[in-house]
Structure 1
Amino acid sequence: MLQQSFRGPAERTPATERLARGAALTGGLALLALSAACGSAGEGAAPQGAKERASVTAAPAVGVVAPAKVEVIANLTGCKAEIRIDADELREGLCRTKEAKYVITTFPEEKYKETWLDAAAVYGGQYLVGPRWAIGAKPEVLEELRPKVGGTVRQLRAVGPPPSAS
């Protein structure tokens, strides 16, 4: 019968060391990303106009995308959402501003978003889509919202026979 020897914390196996180093690296990168995201815009000696230019292009340039929470996305777009659906699979809020009307839908998991988009494809149209969220609006509104929340515009094709030309 084989006997296994006990290895204490001082005698780690190479695989365990790699795992520990990987976890430390991942944690360090996460902290770095958080500290960069939370840094003050007033730090440093940037020219006065530079601060304005950076804030306008920051989200798309660095790939920042809004989190999957209706209220947060609504706030980023300048509205207070009226929650219409609050279910386990999705939350939906309606935003009305002077310029536009749009619907923000968030999902607890990416698979629910993809299922919802597959079902919405029956109707066609364009949606601004991010991780676990989608915004439905007119194409010109989506282009205005994109710099504020990130994401990509996704064209959904209507399913079914084309309308008759009579």
Structure 2
Amino acid sequence: MRVTRPMLAVAGAAVAAAALAGCGSGGDAAAKVPPTATGSLESLAAEVKCKPNIQTDADTIRQAICTSSAGKFVLATFSTDRGQREWINEAKDYGGFYLVGRKWVAVGDDGVVTALRGTLGGDVEIGTDHHAHTGHTG
């Protein structure tokens, strides 16, 4: 019985921490995220009322600069999931905020990505933060 009580206390603390984390981290906001959009670069841009300025138009990637009411961002679509993941992994070394859907990504500042997520759905990924490295002269 003594073994059970400490185990229950640990389990109870973990459940309480998880519940508080969900409340404090915008659990309600996550519930308001729509299903992740799919489609061509043009159809995704139309969803957020942006006329895409195409920068790259290749078989494996299409990339455009967009400006919408949310702000300025880069929108890219990919021919394969693997190509998308490789692109994101390399791009994240430069920092920034990434809204990721199936074979597409939108890149912008935090506010833009958050606003786009309200329309396009998707998952937010954050690039490497290099602020800790500035000014260091090793």
Q: What TM-score do you get using the length of structure 2 for normalisation?
A: 0.68
Alignment counterpart, residue 117 of structure 1, candidates 88, 108, 112:
88
1:135 maps to which residue? 106
Give how far 1:157 is off: 1.2
CA distance in structure 2 between the aligned counterparts of 1:83 and 1:71, rounded to whole angstroms: 10
- Which runs of 5 or more residues in structure 1 are unaligned? 1-57
Tell me the amino acid that sits aligned with residue 162 of structure 1: H
Residues 48 and 68, structure 2, Cα contact 8 Å, conserved in 1: no
Alignment counterpart, residue 104 of structure 1, candidates 63, 70, 75:
75
Residues 75 and 104, structure 2, Cα contact 8 Å, conserved in 1: yes
Q: After the TM superposition, which parts of structure 1 deviate over 2 Å for at least 4 consecutive aligned residues? A: 58-61
Q: Secondary structure at the match of 2:33?
A: helix
1:82 maps to which residue? 53
Give how far 1:125 is off: 1.3
2:40 maps to which residue? 69
1:60 maps to which residue? 33
Query: Which structure is richer in relative contact order (CA contacts within 8 A, separation 6 or more)?
Result: 2
Matched residues, number: 107
2:24 maps to which residue? none
CA distance in structure 1 between the aligned counterparts of 2:100 and 2:118, rounded to whole angstroms: 13
The Cα offsets for residues 125-145 of structure 1, whole Å up to 9 and x where unpaired, read as: 111111111101110011111
Residues 99 and 106, structure 2, Cα contact 8 Å, conserved in 1: yes
Q: Secondary structure at the match of 2:42?
A: helix
Q: What TM-score do you get using the length of structure 1 for normalisation?
A: 0.58
- Which runs of 5 or more residues in structure 2 are unaligned? 1-30
1:92 matches 2:87: no
Bigger CA radius of gyration: 1
Tell me the amino acid that sits aligned with residue 85 of structure 1: T
Give how far 1:152 is off: 0.9
CA distance in structure 1 between the aligned counterparts of 2:85 and 2:33, rounded to whole angstroms: 23
Note closer, same or farther for the CA distance 1:100–1:113 as it changes in structure 2 (3 Å cut): same
